[in-house]
Structure 1
């Protein structure tokens, strides 16, 4: 995209004068790269690809159940992990592993999850894609302070919990960030997820205001899978052939620790150094916490639950070689669960926080084929993700992808009671903003009525994946045209390219209260590209 085309599109999409507020360096990295982020190189030798077996996160077992609820417990703690072969890395973890344990629940049953914080910092847990009451959603100043914390100053500090690290009621380094203490607790907090949603691939991660980027980078993320009867009745791959795959890029320091360009190494002041304001890219591609892993697969159908858990990296995923006839990746689900019907792709573009459920039929490959999952948006080592080695042993496979997957309601645009516009951009004075303002907790940009349908328009200067809490939405248009090839189904995160505008329909259901919208480039989010909306 050349400069003249960028400025022309920007004027039409964002409105006259909107680009004037974008800092010149912002336009410079757009024109130079087109995609967000800057590479942070590791300081040690990286392992060869396809040597490590793919790990699959353990499923968390409930500590007890009753007629309607399943109860779980997770301890957030520091752990020494061997992520790179022969190298120890200190990680912040859920339950001592990265990714954290997978929570598997059933639609209609409540999951009650008690988190205990034994980390050296405060945390906030957000169930991404969860349809949850506001007090369990993970509002960014609802801090869970470490066990043993005490004192008013410590309870107000969103960074490391040192009583003198920050003046009460402020967040240093972030304009407009004065806030109340939120619903803070010490040691333990219980989140209740009622299960009023369809089967879907969700994930949980840290959501602490100003520090989501370093928290997730250091390991605070895990899968949460919801099942239901509709999905269970389909002949889709099951058991070991139903694989959650968490994609994330990381960089490592010479001592094996995670390398991250925080403004303040003590994490008392949020943000990253100037060179990385548009996002941090690592040079190691991890899948389920393993670098460039490999997996032996049968000549059978596999369900791959793809999650982009990177801070800022975009992927275009393709199989190499492509099977004869193409259409290697048959999409059956999106962020919010099953599509109405499958959609076949040769490749999938997946932005941070997006999920794509796809089925791959490895019987389309000759025995012994080594099939690489590539990232066409990467270069060098980041152009490869993992490898599937197709077995020659005979197996049975009764899985298939039916022509009809789900009875999926389509929202009616004529039912929208209002249209709202939200501009995601960088300003000269305030950094990353929504509607020209940096985030301020407690200030709502929208107050939709419970039960209403609204049309929301998101527009961008540079690349932003936009995430909405509480309810999933449906994309109805891009730049005044039809939705894109990866917009199908119920979404909670939509990828906006530079100078784009996307329209979505959302219906606000079940729960009143204050929720979030924000960019899911975690460096943008931590530097104030968030906003509240209050459902009432």
Structure 2
């Protein structure tokens, strides 16, 4: 997986602002650490950290199962939740909770999820990291209108979007040959399960409004298991914790505060001050502010998901165990790594997942161990507290030195190389290859079954997400992949003025899919592109 050659993306392609990332002068190194977003402060007093117990999202039971398929039903609805103690917050939810219920699936078994929309706005559901047919992938104009909507609602829902640069045409094709498959009330999404065990998540993906949709609560875990992972002696049951990290801000009435240009959410976008992303001043874990959880002196698996709109975290344990290596990474976006990687800290961009194991027997009983965010300050520097108990335990979990055997894609098998520049345009907002998003305009057309090299380069910070297939990071700035690039991934973090090459093989499903920035404010303001697998 190593290629020590220059990316071949010169200054003429990247622009003068990106040259420093390849030459790495001190100023560019400093720029590369810059993080996006502007802080939006809450209008209510914030609770003290570590007073609220950590909630664990409920696991959704199927409404029925047969020999091949598990069927689920979810109602998207408004719910009043107590997120900050003593205040009610109106959230948009999957099934009445934030996060939504956790889906637990098995590799090789089909999952069909029927969503009913009882929200006041249209929605789209995307299984992030899912290897999914195009008609169930959550194309951003495949709208599910609220139950009881009239035909006029679809036109109204799209009317505001035409004001965005590049979106007035609304012409072209999607996975079934037309732009947008709008339905009213209910829609079923089919996930065949042809992928390995992994920590995935599902979230709203409505064009122009993904940021406010997720900010208001439309996100949940989707966990896939398989026999390969089951055979490993990893932590299980209550010691396998999904942890959704999400920063938010709250208005004086307890509602979610968000700087939309249109509070009615018919016109997309945020006010000018927040063009580079929205940061909240409250860190939520599984929907609770700075929670605490009791842990045994045993191994725990932490499934870390960054579901924030913009915020990037550098997660560390404090205190660190005496000999370091507290966070043992066993998996990433696309499932198990070949061998574990021992980190003192992990840097996690929006939409990335890191599966890590922590051995709390390395701490004396009674120790309070904080999960901190070194990229935060004051309150945003705190995330979660683990309180190590003295109760007697049995722990037979370990982390093997070899976890699995990964297929490695061959760069020599790539049939072509494509380059995608993620930049802000003076006139058109956030763009890919200097073009704002327009549904149906195809930026790439890879052939089914082929492998390609895709090059991404950036002006500022952009977490780049690819739909349909996981990829492997080939190089970063012409050198080795970074410390957090191991294994199969679907989201890669591009720092300012940086270039990354990935290898991707397009498998199983033809149709139209998405490439986009997962800074949700960038995404909503047109930093997306269609590619069609033929």
Match of 2:409 among 405, 411, 428: 411
Contact map agreement 2:212 2:258 (CA 8 A) in 1? yes
Match of 1:15 among 7, 11, 19: 11
Matches within 5 A, 1:221-240: 221-240=219-238
Contact map agreement 1:353 1:493 (CA 8 A) in 2? yes
Residue of structure 2 equivalent to 1:113: 113
Residue of structure 2 equivalent to 1:334: 332
**TM-score of the superposition, structure 1-length normalised?**
0.93
Residue of structure 2 equivalent to 1:401: 399
What secondary structure sits across from 2:297 in the alignment? coil
Quote the offset at 1:37 in angstroms.
0.1
Give the Cα separation in 2 of the matches to 1:350 and 1:235.
26
Give the Cα separation in 2 of the matches to 1:14 and 1:211.
35
Give the Cα separation in 2 of the matches to 1:280 and 1:488.
28
Contact map agreement 1:113 1:192 (CA 8 A) in 2? yes
Distance 1:14 1:426, change over 3 A: farther
Give the Cα separation in 2 of the matches to 1:141 and 1:178.
13
Quote the offset at 1:12 in angstroms.
9.0
Residue of structure 1 equivalent to 2:66: 66
Residue of structure 2 equivalent to 1:443: 441
What secondary structure sits across from 2:488 in the alignment? coil
Give the Cα separation in 2 of the matches to 1:382 and 1:246.
15
Distance 1:196 1:233, change over 3 A: same
Residue of structure 2 equivalent to 1:175: 166
Give the Cα separation in 2 of the matches to 1:157 and 1:467.
29
Distance 1:485 1:242, change over 3 A: same
Quote the offset at 1:136 in angstroms.
0.2
**2:83 equivalent to 1:87:** no
**2:243 equivalent to 1:245:** yes
Residue of structure 1 equivalent to 2:176: none
Residue of structure 2 equivalent to 1:382: 380
Q: CA offsets, 1:155-198, max 9 Å, x none?
A: 23436xxxxxx37xx62233334315511100000000000000
Residue of structure 1 equivalent to 2:149: 149
Structure 1, unmatched stretches of 5+, are: 1-10, 160-165
Give the Cα separation in 2 of the matches to 1:21 and 1:136.
39
Give the Cα separation in 2 of the matches to 1:515 and 1:422.
15
Residue of structure 2 equivalent to 1:279: 277
Quote the offset at 1:34 in angstroms.
1.2
Contact map agreement 1:54 1:290 (CA 8 A) in 2? yes
Residue of structure 2 equivalent to 1:307: 305
Match of 1:531 among 519, 529, 532: 529
RMSD: 1.8
Quote the offset at 1:324 in angstroms.
1.1
**TM-score of the superposition, structure 2-length normalised?**
0.94
Contact map agreement 1:308 1:351 (CA 8 A) in 2? yes
Contact map agreement 2:32 2:496 (CA 8 A) in 1? no
Distance 1:20 1:486, change over 3 A: closer
Residue of structure 2 equivalent to 1:52: 52
Give the Cα separation in 1 of the matches to 2:345 and 2:9.
27
What secondary structure sits across from 1:16 in the alignment? helix
Residue of structure 1 equivalent to 2:323: 325
Give the Cα separation in 2 of the matches to 1:74 and 1:318.
35
Q: CA offsets, 1:7-35, max 9 Å, x none?
A: xxxx995623744799xxxx99x969811
**2:197 equivalent to 1:199:** yes
Residue of structure 2 equivalent to 1:458: 456
What secondary structure sits across from 1:514 in the alignment? strand
Contact map agreement 1:300 1:361 (CA 8 A) in 2? yes
Quote the offset at 1:471 in angstroms.
0.1
Distance 1:249 1:336, change over 3 A: same
Give the Cα separation in 2 of the matches to 1:503 and 1:33.
20
Residue of structure 2 equivalent to 1:216: 214
Give the Cα separation in 2 of the matches to 1:357 and 1:241.
13
Residue of structure 2 equivalent to 1:491: 489
Contact map agreement 2:14 2:421 (CA 8 A) in 1? no
What secondary structure sits across from 1:179 in the alignment? coil
Give the Cα separation in 1 of the matches to 2:308 and 2:226.
28
Contact map agreement 2:116 2:185 (CA 8 A) in 1? yes
What secondary structure sits across from 2:442 in the alignment? coil
Give the Cα separation in 2 of the matches to 1:143 and 1:15.
40
Contact map agreement 1:21 1:428 (CA 8 A) in 2? no
Residue of structure 2 equivalent to 1:96: 96
Contact map agreement 1:14 1:460 (CA 8 A) in 2? no
**2:502 equivalent to 1:516:** no
